[in-house]
Amino acid sequence: MENTYQNYRFKKLRSIYCLLPAILILFSQFLTSPLLGQNQRFIKGLVVDESNNSMPGVTIVSFKTKKSLGQTNTKGEFTVKIGDNENLLFKFIGFVNKTVIIKPTDKNITVVLKEDQNGLDEVVVRGYVSRSKELSTGSSFTISGAEVQDVPVANIEQLLQGKVPGMNIQINTGAPGFRGTTQIRGLSTLSVSGSGNESFLQPTSPLYVIDGVPLDANSAEEMGYQQQGPGVSPLSMIPQEDVESIEILKDAQATSLYGSMAAYGVIIIKTKRGSSEIPRIRYTGNYFVKTPPKLRSTLGGNLERAFKINEILQNATSISDIDKISQTPFLSDSLNAYYNNSTDWQGLYYGSTFNQSHNLAIDGGDQTFSYKTNLGYYNEQGIIQNTGFERYTGNIRMDYQPNNSNLKFMGQFTGQIGKQNKGSGTGLLQTGVASSGQSSTLLPDPSFYTSSNEYLSALSTDDDNLVKSLRANIEASYMILKGLSANAAVSYHFQSKTESTFVPAEANNMITKNYAYNGTETELYSRNSLTYSLSLHDKHNFFFNAFNEIRIVNSQNASITQVGTANDQIKGPIGFDAIKSEGGIVDYNDQRAISFALAASYDYKKKYVLDLSYRLDGSSGNGFDDLYTKNPAVGLRWNFSKENFSSELDWLNMGAIRLSWGINVIPNSTLQRIYGKYNITGNYNGEQGIGIDYGTIPNPVLKPTTTSQFNLGLDLNLFHNKIDLIYDTYYKKVDNLLFDMSLPNTVGFSTLNSNDAAISNYGHELSITFRPLPATSKVDFMFTINGAYNKDVLTKLPAEYGGQYIRFDTGDTKQHNLYRVGSATLSNYLLINEGVYATDSDVPVNPKTGLRYQTNGTFFQAGDPIFKDMNGDYILDEKDYTRTGNNQPLFTGGMSTTIGYASFTLSINASYTWKRTILNNALADRLSLMKDPFSSTAVVPLTDINMWRKPGDIAKYPYAYNYTRFSTISPFRYDQTLWAEDGSYLKINNIILAYQFNKRLVRTWGLNNLRVYLSMDNLITFSPYSGPNPENVTSMGRDVSNGYPVPRSYNIGINIEF
């Protein structure tokens, strides 16, 4: 009985996308009716819920043949034809399936369906093992594959935005094939690399476990903007149509079983498996248009010239500037070739693109044997010319579980090809395009003659990036005894990454450039486990899971650059400039890791649950002193709704309190950090010397970064599934963070990798789902809102710093960061802007010297920005910087709603971020375009800017037209709070309108199912931010004008099932 019931549970799942029963109705009614035997009879009945309301639309399935026999009518009544010894199964979404044994005497029966006590039979994954959610003590969130469909994206992560409380996803690039940033529960790092606009926070993405195989998604991004290689995100390689479910593990109880790599959370992705007795073919096609956001408006041609001349005449401080007008041909010489142009430079680069994706899934089989093949194609042309992403995927899976056997077997093979084109940029940044887009409209159209480097470079650079990935995994389990199973999984993953870039001569100062990158990575992964479950008197339940994991990762990357080949046609291998050309192995990695884990779980009548787990992680990168990191966790759960006192409460369907604690340890050691770096330097007795690099002192006692986390959660299901609430609060402490400490010059070495920094995050997460309409309503309505509050506090810095460290930006922006113990971790360290001096007399005067407030020897005047003189010395200098703003968001979350009526379904998804400081460097760039009217940069209309124009104006922005001030007081310097804006936003991520064709109708067309949908992505963002998109900013919260804008897309899609 238990087994058959399991079968039916499985069937129920299957029916979500399997409409097989519908066909069977046809067959049974049209084909089988003449063949009715004598032993067939009709049975009538009524289906009601617990409150005795009749239930229309309940599916009735034959227990024996698994065929659908029909549905209840609007009054909840049914009449079905059954054979002898036939039992019936009644199914309705949101209700527990019910099997009714039909006695030969039954003619008219009444069936009472019980409401499904939401979520309790949901399954979660812990340590590669499925467990009932009812017994889980950790904090996790599950999203079904159906929620990530209908909006074509290269990277499914995009569609998770705003759906999971506590998972902060910022889609901060529109570059096809790249991914935004993902953080679970706040900040876990202090490491900022790069400078200026290219500063980036070390990515701390969660660990992805795809079909039971862990995948490190950070690896592609370690290099930041200047990464080498193709940079295709591994997540961009999974077609969304193939996703069965996604589970996000948030607290340490859930993640600690995944060890070191899971310190930033775990995202478990399961792909679909075959589940249809009759083989079926499903096709999904999307046809979508990507449109660039509104571009910067620019004054063209004559307007630009008039504007520049006017700017000079109004603000020139010397007669030579006036004279210079007549010496600048494009301003004054009407016969000059540069005079009569109006070139739309931005329009040359940005444009709408038409794209498509196709996915074909073939599956079939039953509980014993099932198979699936998924073929996907995705093509996205970037809205910047010469950029794009193309993907081909194939995934074959087979599941086998012989009847009456204790053996289960799964085999899967996945092949993926991702092809990316980055144009002349690095993907995330398109610097060439951005600076060329700022060219004066007076410059003639690009042509070979003008040899506009950036234009040609952007369009004619031959950039070809390929990622080829093959993965095979097999999993087998065998039940040795009742309750005791052995499981083994092996996976082999091979990935090749190549990049080939050719820049033709005319695009690169008449020197050709050939760049090739070649990387391979292999990973062998194996896991063996034993699970044992035991139940004593149906009261005391035990579950044990012991497993070990072995990973062997090898990678080698090489690159070669050849400069100055003979011509654009001969790209080598001979005839290049040997001096400027270089090449070799870029990096090499041979890593072994072994882990042992043990998890034990106990519950008493499913009321009180105790989870204990312990994992040892050893890695060849750890160093010998600390070979194994230890990751313990404890979890408790109390299902208080099962207590007697609450079982009588009508409105409380489910209630549970969870409490957990756990640790994830990430080793910081690398061979270089332990042993130092040796370089070929100098020579000794005529022999080449190899000496230590004095940059960083070796540190063999580097401690691993330890993330410990407490979580307290509350799960509630109220008013018969109408309200679903999940609340979590947590405290996460990240200790022993890597922090580069400067050493005194007497030491010899300049920096020490120290371990003495720490961050704490604490916060609250809430998710509420409303289903206010009764299950019988014609309108299906669901509304979910979630939000997360996260606050990070820097709790420790190396003692030598006395509680404060300033990371001075060495780039041109000088937007520094201040780390101060006790405050938000990533604060900006800037000059405070307090407006604009309306008149000269508003500038403060030093009472001692009688001099006006000044900087670099220039006195401030009307129209100049008011920089707060923090130390009161009437001189603006670096002493006037102060801590301001936090570039990490305080609140993130989202909302979504689904409304279904008849065959239509409308879903709207939104996400929001609240309280985040972002620096609008793009506006600074835009205003700074005014700095030199004699140069060949574009000018932009500033009529919409609240700018000082004449004495007495109270304005926000300083006077931009006085170009002589740019070199003295730099009114638009980046390092001021004028650019610090509130980056809060509410974004309508997408709207999907779907129509499901009548099944009878489509059957006449030879189809089994037909569904069409319209969707729009990145629809609109509401924000107080003055720039175009508060989300399209770097992880350090800077809106850089050379970023890749996030496009909007309009899509028509179709699902066909044969």
Partner 1 sequence: MDTRKNRYIGTLILGVILPFSGCKKLYNLPEETLYLSPDISYTSQILEPVLGRMNILGSVSTNYSSLPITFEIKNPRYGNGKVYNDLFQVKPTYVWDAEYTGNETTLEEIESKRHLEDHPLFEVDNNGNFILWPSSNNELIEPRSIDGEDLTQNIRYFDLKISNSQGSKTIKDFQFLPWRERPYDPYTDIDPYTGELVPDPLDPSNPNKHDHITPSLSNVVGEKSNEQLVINSEKRDVVVYIKPFEGGNGHNLRFKFLNTDSLPINPAQFNETKWDNIIHGFNKTITDKYVQYDVAYPIPLTNISTKYSSNGNASVNFSYSRLGYGGILSISNISLEFKIFHPGDWEIVFHFINDNPKFEDD
Under the criterion CB under 8 A, does residue 877 sit at the interface with partner 1? no
CA angle 595, 599, 605 (to 5 degrees): 170
Between CA 232 and CA 467 the distance in angstroms is: 7
Nearer to partner 1, 649 or 906 (CB): 649
Q: Is the CB of residue 836 less than 8 Å from the CB of residue 948?
A: yes
Nearer to partner 1, 342 or 823 (CB): 823
Under the criterion CB under 8 A, does residue 847 sit at the interface with partner 1? yes
Question: What one-character DSSP code corresponds to residue 439?
Answer: B
Nearer to partner 1, 305 or 796 (CB): 796
Q: Kindly report whether the peptide bond that precedes residue 573 is cis, defined as omega within 30 degrees of 0.
A: yes
Between CA 509 and CA 456 the distance in angstroms is: 11
| Contact with partner 1 (CB under 8 A) among 319, 822, 944, 1004 | 822
Task: Burial-class residue 693 by CB neighbours within 10 Å (0-12, 13-18, 19+).
Answer: middle
| Contact with partner 1 (CB under 8 A) among 48, 806, 986, 1012 | 806
| Contact with partner 1 (CB under 8 A) among 405, 774, 873, 1024 | 873
The residue type at 809: D
Nearer to partner 1, 558 or 875 (CB): 875
For 876, the token pair is 């603006």
Least CB distance from residue 856 to partner 1, whole Å?
Answer: 15
Under the criterion CB under 8 A, does residue 846 sit at the interface with partner 1? yes
Nearer to partner 1, 330 or 853 (CB): 853
The residue type at 848: K
Under the criterion CB under 8 A, does residue 714 sit at the interface with partner 1? yes
Write the binding mask 882 to 921 for partner 1: x where contact by CB under 8 A, - elsewhere.
x---------------------------------------
Under the criterion CB under 8 A, does residue 716 sit at the interface with partner 1? yes
Under the criterion CB under 8 A, does residue 679 sit at the interface with partner 1? no
H helices of 188-289, where?
252-255
Least CB distance from residue 639 to partner 1, whole Å?
Answer: 13
Under the criterion CB under 8 A, does residue 843 sit at the interface with partner 1? yes
Q: What is the 3-state secondary structure (H, E, C) of 618-651?
A: EECCCCCCCCEEEEEEEEEEECHHHCHHHHCCCC
For 864, the token pair is 């100049």
Least CB distance from residue 839 to partner 1, whole Å?
Answer: 12
Nearer to partner 1, 4 or 804 (CB): 804
Between CA 517 and CA 559 the distance in angstroms is: 4
CA angle 782, 783, 785 (to 5 degrees): 150
Between CA 720 and CA 773 the distance in angstroms is: 11
| Contact with partner 1 (CB under 8 A) among 295, 821, 1014, 1019 | 821
Between CA 960 and CA 981 the distance in angstroms is: 19
CA 603 to centroid of chain Cα atoms:
36
Give the 3-state secondary structure of residue 169.
strand
Under the criterion CB under 8 A, does residue 130 sit at the interface with partner 1? no
Between CA 833 and CA 960 the distance in angstroms is: 16
Find the part of the chain contacting partner 1 (CB under 8 A) among 236-244, 487-495, 610-618, 726-734.
Answer: 726-734
Under the criterion CB under 8 A, does residue 476 sit at the interface with partner 1? no
Under the criterion CB under 8 A, does residue 542 sit at the interface with partner 1? no
For the CA atoms of 452, 454, 459, 465, the dihedral, rounded to the nearest 10 degrees, stands at 150
For 212, the token pair is 């039971």
- How many amino acids of this chain bind partner 1 (CB under 8 A)? 49
| Contact with partner 1 (CB under 8 A) among 640, 948, 957, 961 | 640
Nearer to partner 1, 321 or 840 (CB): 840
Least CB distance from residue 889 to partner 1, whole Å?
Answer: 18
Write the binding mask 393 to 432 for partner 1: x where contact by CB under 8 A, - elsewhere.
----------------------------------------
Find the part of the chain contacting partner 1 (CB under 8 A) among 214-222, 601-609, 692-700, 757-765.
Answer: 757-765
The residue type at 1012: V
Under the criterion CB under 8 A, does residue 856 sit at the interface with partner 1? no
Give 32's strand partners: none
Token pair 């050379």 in the structure block, residue: 1042
Nearer to partner 1, 427 or 713 (CB): 713
Phi and psi (nearest 5°) for 911? -140, 155
CA 775 to centroid of chain Cα atoms:
34
Nearer to partner 1, 81 or 915 (CB): 915
DSSP symbols for 523-549: EEEEEEEEEEEEEETTTEEEEEEEEEE
Nearer to partner 1, 741 or 793 (CB): 793
Least CB distance from residue 66 to partner 1, whole Å?
Answer: 42
| Contact with partner 1 (CB under 8 A) among 689, 691, 872, 941 | 872
Q: Kindly report whether the peptide bond that precedes residue 176 is cis, defined as omega within 30 degrees of 0.
A: no
Q: Is the CB of residue 808 less than 8 Å from the CB of residue 910?
A: no
The residue type at 860: F
Task: Burial-class residue 584 by CB neighbours within 10 Å (0-12, 13-18, 19+).
Answer: exposed
Nearer to partner 1, 530 or 725 (CB): 725
In angstroms and rounded to an integer, the radius of gyration of the C-alpha atoms of the chain is 33
Give the 3-state secondary structure of residue 160.
helix
Under the criterion CB under 8 A, does residue 648 sit at the interface with partner 1? yes
Under the criterion CB under 8 A, does residue 832 sit at the interface with partner 1? no
Find the part of the chain contacting partner 1 (CB under 8 A) among 169-177, 260-268, 467-475, 648-656.
Answer: 648-656
Under the criterion CB under 8 A, does residue 651 sit at the interface with partner 1? yes
Under the criterion CB under 8 A, does residue 652 sit at the interface with partner 1? yes
Under the criterion CB under 8 A, does residue 852 sit at the interface with partner 1? yes
Under the criterion CB under 8 A, does residue 646 sit at the interface with partner 1? yes
Least CB distance from residue 854 to partner 1, whole Å?
Answer: 10
Helix (H) or strand (E) holding 1038: none
| Contact with partner 1 (CB under 8 A) among 795, 897, 936, 968 | 795
Nearer to partner 1, 627 or 659 (CB): 659
Give the 3-state secondary structure of residue 999.
helix
Least CB distance from residue 650 to partner 1, whole Å?
Answer: 6
Under the criterion CB under 8 A, does residue 845 sit at the interface with partner 1? yes
| Contact with partner 1 (CB under 8 A) among 36, 123, 649, 690 | 649
Between CA 362 and CA 358 the distance in angstroms is: 13
Nearer to partner 1, 468 or 820 (CB): 820
For strands 608-619 and 628-638, give the pairing.
antiparallel
Nearer to partner 1, 584 or 802 (CB): 802
Find the part of the chain contacting partner 1 (CB under 8 A) among 192-200, 292-300, 386-394, 878-886.
Answer: 878-886
Helix (H) or strand (E) holding 979: none
For strands 816-820 and 804-807, give the pairing.
antiparallel
Nearer to partner 1, 762 or 957 (CB): 762
| Contact with partner 1 (CB under 8 A) among 369, 675, 731, 914 | 731
Under the criterion CB under 8 A, does residue 870 sit at the interface with partner 1? yes
The residue type at 208: Y
For 1, the token pair is 């009985």
For strands 59-62 and 87-91, give the pairing.
antiparallel
| Contact with partner 1 (CB under 8 A) among 352, 356, 823, 884 | 823
Between CA 324 and CA 311 the distance in angstroms is: 13
Find the part of the chain contacting partner 1 (CB under 8 A) among 7-15, 69-77, 646-654, 1043-1051.
Answer: 646-654
The residue type at 488: A
Where along the sequence are the contacts to partner 1 (CB under 8 A)?
640, 645-646, 648-652, 655, 657, 712, 714, 716, 727, 729, 731, 760, 762, 764, 793, 795-796, 802-804, 806, 820-823, 840-841, 843, 845-852, 859, 870-873, 879, 881-882
